[in-house]
Amino acid sequence: MASQRQLRSKIHSVRNIKQITKAMQMVAATKMRKSQQVALAARPYAKLALGLLSRILRENQIQQMGPLVNPNESGKDALVVVTSDKGLAGSFNGAVLRAAWNKKEELEAKGRSIEIVAVGRKAKDFFGARGYVPAESFLHFSDIVSIHDIIPLADWIIQAFKQGKYGHVYFSSTLFLSALVQKPKITQVLPLEASLLSEIVAGIVPKTGKYADLSEKEDAFVEHLFEPSRFEIAERLCEDLTRVQIAHILFESNASEHSARMIAMKNATENAQQLQETLVLQLNKARQAGITQEVAEISTAKEALQSEV
């Protein structure tokens, strides 16, 4: 059994750790609320924007809608892996990286060549350690991701695809379901496909809670009037709505990150509290054992003196 001095030292260390994790939990909770507000507030706009893009793709000739719709002949695909720059977020990064690695192996088994685009330092370090140097890295996003953080990433992806560098662009990210539940997901962003966009739109609307009533509204068929012509504005429209899709993915991932970090720090605080209580109990037992031993030694010495007399 550890000595009382060692137990007191451990209790002091655990108490300090608990104070740190408690403070980190409160900071993460504040960031979580802000990032959730951004992600949830963007959902109605993302639903309408991507729904519009999906209808336009269904109603018009695909081959005339611009380079973002037509698949490239390139045998190379881009896998954009969205993680965080920082750790201490529980299984958030691990789940995304596992999903990305599985997708990479699946595509390579089909004969595709994969290039990694890292969003966040964890993705860059993970693939770099395994010999996959990212084609591009986007690091040091704001704590609460804004559209200014997303524009460089979106523009780079759109330009790379338009230049024929990639045949497909996939995102490995996290879908925010609730503060307790975040789900890793692989999303094909380019080339644009009406069926895939319809799935994304359906996934945007939550089953319960805020904005759940959006699912009750049916999108009626609307014939759009294009001026000066549909073909002149199609490319610009597809680019802008693709940026909306990428922004939606990043907002969801950001909310998931802070939620996962808050839960991880909450669990760490509770574990530290349990460990502290266990150590205090051990200290009390050690102190009681010491007192009992001293009493026994005094009694033995007293009896020895009395027997000598």
In this structure, what DSSP letter does residue 113 have?
E
Pairwise CA distance, residues 135 & 83, whole Å: 16
pLDDT tens digits, one per residue of 264-309 = 899 999 999 999 888 888 888 888 887 887 777 777 777 777 776 5
**Long-range Cβ contact pairs of 280-284 (< 8 A, separation 24 or more):** 280/11, 282/1, 282/2, 282/7, 283/4, 283/7, 283/8, 283/11
Q: Per mean pLDDT, which range of 148-152, 173-177, 290-294 is the poorest?
A: 290-294
Domains, in order of start, for the chain: 4-26+263-303 (1.10.287.80), 28-261 (3.40.1380.10)
pLDDT at residue 222 is higher than 60: no
For residues 208 and 179, the answer to whether their CB atoms sit within 8 Å is: no
pLDDT band (50, 70, 90) for residue 211? very low
Q: Per mean pLDDT, which range of 63-77, 237-251, 288-302 is the poorest?
A: 63-77
pLDDT band (50, 70, 90) for residue 216? very low
What was the pLDDT predicted at 122?
Answer: 93
For residues 279 and 10, the answer to whether their CB atoms sit within 8 Å is: yes
Share of the chain above pLDDT 70, in %: 79
pLDDT at residue 132 is higher than 60: yes
What was the pLDDT predicted at 226?
Answer: 63
pLDDT at residue 171 is higher than 50: yes
Pairwise CA distance, residues 68 & 193, whole Å: 10
pLDDT at residue 218 is higher than 50: no
- Helices 4-59 and 230-308 pack at an angle, to 10 degrees, of 170
User: What is the pLDDT of the chain when averaged over all its residues?
Assistant: 81
Pairwise CA distance, residues 300 & 296, whole Å: 6
**Rg of the chain in Å (alpha carbons):** 29
Pairwise CA distance, residues 141 & 251, whole Å: 11
What was the pLDDT predicted at 184?
Answer: 92
pLDDT band (50, 70, 90) for residue 221? low
pLDDT at residue 208 is higher than 70: no
Number of H helices, E strands in the chain: 6, 5
Query: 136-138 and 76-82: which strand pairing?
Result: unpaired
